[in-house]
Each structure stands twice: as C-alpha cells, then as structure tokens.
Structure 1
C-alpha cells in the first residue's frame, strides 16, 4: 500500500512539473485547457486523471437504402421490330414509372429477377394509372399480390441482395414486347401505356403474374374491357 502511495505521489508531482514547464514555455498550448477531475475511493485513495474530449455524435447504424432508378425507355428483345422509317412508339411516363416500381418491389422481396409478378406490383404501386384503378376496383391490393407472389415463388432469402436492376425473366420480357407489338399493330401514334403493360402480363399464361391475376379474380372479360379502351384512337394515359 505504501509503495502504491509513493508511486502515485511521484507520478502526480512529475505531471504537475511537466504542466508548469508547458505553461511557462507555451501559454497557448491546448494541453492547458485539459481539466482534471478527482476520483475518490476508499480503496484507491485520490487519483487525478485528465478528462479527454469525446465525439458526442450518436453512432447510427449504416443501412442499405433501396431506391428506384427511372429510365426513359424499357428493354425490348427485338429492337428491329420497328421499321427505321417509322416513328417508334414511346412508353408513357406512368408506364415507365410502373416498370421502375416493379423492379423496386422485386428488390424489396429479395428476388433475383424482375418477373411478371413484379411488374403487376409496380402497376399497383404507381397507383394513378387506368390499369391500377381497374385492378383496385376489382379487389386487388399490393398486399394480396405480394402474398400470392411469395406463395408461387417462395419466401425470400434475407441474406441475398438483389442487383439494382434485377434482370427480366423471359415471361416479363415477352410481356413488354407484347405491349409494344400491340401498339405497333394499332397504327396509332400514341404512347404505350400501363394498360398495354398489364395486358402483356395477362398474355403470359404460364407466368406468375397471370396466375396471381387469375387467382384474385381477373378474367378475360376484364381484359377485353381494357383492350377495347386502349384500342380507341387517341387513347392517352390518365
């Protein structure tokens, strides 16, 4: 105990003389601004220690954000389908946004690809298009479509990180191409809309999107109703 006391006294005196020399030689030394606090204990005696500055900013966990990148065109398997002398039809902004939201839904569910089920969810997420209004008017919700998608595809692997743009499945690419072809056949100069996109999903009978739509009550009668609407000259997306 005596040796501990002597060591503490020697250390304290050395530290004090060191601070005195700094004070005399450099009055602006930052070391002079360090305060000391006394910690008293019946076992340790009195010990002086410097109070160092700490970073008081909260340590927030880093989270992986998910965002959708919106492009100005949608992928097609056959760009040559459009005659070079003809004006290529353009996708509506709501159609493009619906596709981007579909990619985002695929990433949220940890899917490795963007399928027809993801496109269907994207149409519902966009929410303001004619196809979405038709679906919601017939009992479709995003939650229901998600549940059916998981039943068909399986529960996601939560340790898997989807790419920013999950590649299209073959059925999803065919759905996009169907929408483009239908617009070309119409001979109208208008845009390719989400209604074309939804009917493209419905055209793929073996795909998850078609099966989900059929399970939730979509049928050929509703498809024909939508087809008649988009076939009118000058049809535009609401």
Structure 2
C-alpha cells in the first residue's frame, strides 16, 4: 500500500493519534505542511509534531501560550496551561477572526472560554446568566462591527490587555505555590483584573463583579480535577 499523502485543506485532530483521554486532549488543528513522513501542525502558538514510525503513529505535543515575561521562572518550574485553557485560547482567536477584528483582545478570550464551554469558568459564567450570545452582543456594542471587506490575520495578535491577562494568570499561579495547571478560571480572573480591558467592561455590563470574582477564585483549580475524569 502506498504511503503517499496528499495535502488537503482539512482539519486534523490529535484524537486520531492519542491512545487515551480523547475527550480532554482533542485539539482540531489545521494541516499546514508536509515533510516526508513528518506532519507539522501549527495552530496559533500551539505546536504539534506527529511522526510516522513503521506501523504506529507517535504524537508529541507541546502546549504554550504567549508570555511577555518568559524568564520569570526556571523552565522546569514554569506552570503549564490546562487543555481547556489552550482550547479556549485557540477558540478565542477564531472568534476574533469571525468578528473580523485585527487583534485578539480580552473580549475574544472571553468568547473562547464560553465557546469551549466545558471548563469551570464557562460553567460559572453560565450559572450567572452570561452566555455566548450576550458576550457577542456586548462585544459588538462596545467595539462595533468591523468593515465587511476587512480580513483578519490568520492568527490575530494579542492586544496589550489580552497579553496582560495571560501574564496575570501565570504570575498568580506562581504566587500560589500550588502544583498543577493554569486553569480557565485564572484566565477569566486575569481578564477581570484589568479594568481598562474590553473584557472587564463587558463582564461588568453583564453583572459580573468583585464578589463573583472572589467566589470563582475559590474554585480556581477545579479544572485540574475535572480534566482527569
């Protein structure tokens, strides 16, 4: 049987290569380039290298999100983002493109959390009456609609406020001294921490406040438990 592969404009899922925990590790990524028997798949700042070896396929996945302060901690102590946080970030960039915005802002990160939908942060927002549709509506009300002839970059870069939200989440995780991953709750609270951000203003308009933030902080590590069920 021929091992020749054709490059097609399709999405490929890491679920096809991972032997266990399919539902929590699945990331649908666009196939970008082909080098012999090695597929190099890139989505935003995620990287996934899939190498074909004889009869089995082995996947090595490296997850990272952008940070303005990469040297804040030794590499071995640098906290990792949870799978839900990674998916939320990727979906947030996709939402920015759908809205035809030139950058990925905190409003897009919020939408990413809600579109992903399975995290503790998303469940908390829904329990407080905040939905994807309300977020979309308030985003357009606040930032307006993009020109219909404008096309967003394939990977819209982060706004200053969105980068601050990511860095806040990493810093808070390091301050806590606790092990485990950086959950979507950290990301949501990072968005809320920046009062100048569009995400903060949208959340405030929809009834989110400091009391709710404190309530969410009590469950800030729960995605870790949920992600291993």
Q: TM-score, normalised by structure 1?
A: 0.68
Distance verdict in 2 for CA 1:73–1:132, change over 3 Å? same
2:67 matches 1:76: yes
Match of 2:211 among 216, 221, 227: 221
Q: CA shift at 1:83, angstroms?
A: 2.9
Q: Distance in 2 between matches of 1:134 and 1:179?
A: 18
Give structure 1 regions of 4+ aligned residues with deviation exceeding 4 angstroms. Answer: none
**Unaligned segments of structure 2, at least 5 residues:** 1-10, 12-28, 31-42, 47-62
Q: Which position in structure 2 is the counterpart of 1:207?
A: 197
2:78 matches 1:93: no
Larger relative helix fraction: 1
Matching of residues 38-187 of structure 1 within 5 Å: 69=43, 71=46, 72-84=63-75, 86-187=76-177
**Unaligned segments of structure 1, at least 5 residues:** 1-64
Q: CA shift at 1:235, angstroms?
A: 5.2
Q: CA shift at 1:188, angstroms?
A: 1.2
Paired residue secondary structure (1:135): helix
Aligned residues: 171
2:203 matches 1:198: no
Q: CA shift at 1:88, angstroms?
A: 1.2
Q: CA shift at 1:82, angstroms?
A: 1.0
Q: Distance in 2 between matches of 1:173 and 1:154?
A: 22
Q: Distance in 2 between matches of 1:231 and 1:185?
A: 14
The structure that has the greater radius of gyration is 1
Q: CA shift at 1:207, angstroms?
A: 0.7
Q: CA shift at 1:143, angstroms?
A: 1.1
Distance verdict in 2 for CA 1:192–1:231, change over 3 Å? closer
Q: Distance in 2 between matches of 1:166 and 1:123?
A: 17
Q: Tell me if structure 1 keeps the 8 A contact 2:185–2:221.
A: no
Aligned-residue CA RMSD in angstroms? 2.0
Q: Distance in 2 between matches of 1:184 and 1:78?
A: 13
Paired residue secondary structure (1:90): coil
Q: Distance in 2 between matches of 1:202 and 1:218?
A: 9
Q: TM-score, normalised by structure 2?
A: 0.70
Larger relative strand fraction: 2
Q: Tell me if structure 2 keeps the 8 A contact 1:191–1:236.
A: no
Q: Distance in 1 between matches of 2:191 and 2:159?
A: 12
Q: Tell me if structure 1 keeps the 8 A contact 2:92–2:109.
A: yes
Q: Tell me if structure 2 keeps the 8 A contact 1:193–1:237.
A: no
